[in-house]
Amino acid sequence: MVELEKPPVLAARGGCWFRGGGVELHFGVEQEFVAARKAHPGVLVTGIDALARRLTAAGVEVEWDDNFPGHRRCYAVDPLGNRLEFLEPETAA
Sequence-ordered list of residues with C-beta below 8 angstroms from that of 44, at least 6 positions apart, any chain? 87, 88, 89
At residue 31, does pLDDT exceed 90?
A: no
Q: What radius of gyration do the chain's Cα atoms show?
A: 15
78 vs 51 pLDDT, higher one: 51
Query: Residue 92's pLDDT is what?
Result: 55
The pTM assigned to this predicted structure is 0.71
Q: Of 2.60.40.1930, 3.10.180.10, 3.90.226.10, 3.40.50.150, which CATH number belongs to 37-93?
A: 3.10.180.10
Q: What would the DSSP string read from start to end of 29-91?
A: --TT----SS---EEE-S-HHHHHHHHHHTT---EEE--STTEEEEEEE-TTS-EEEEEEEGG
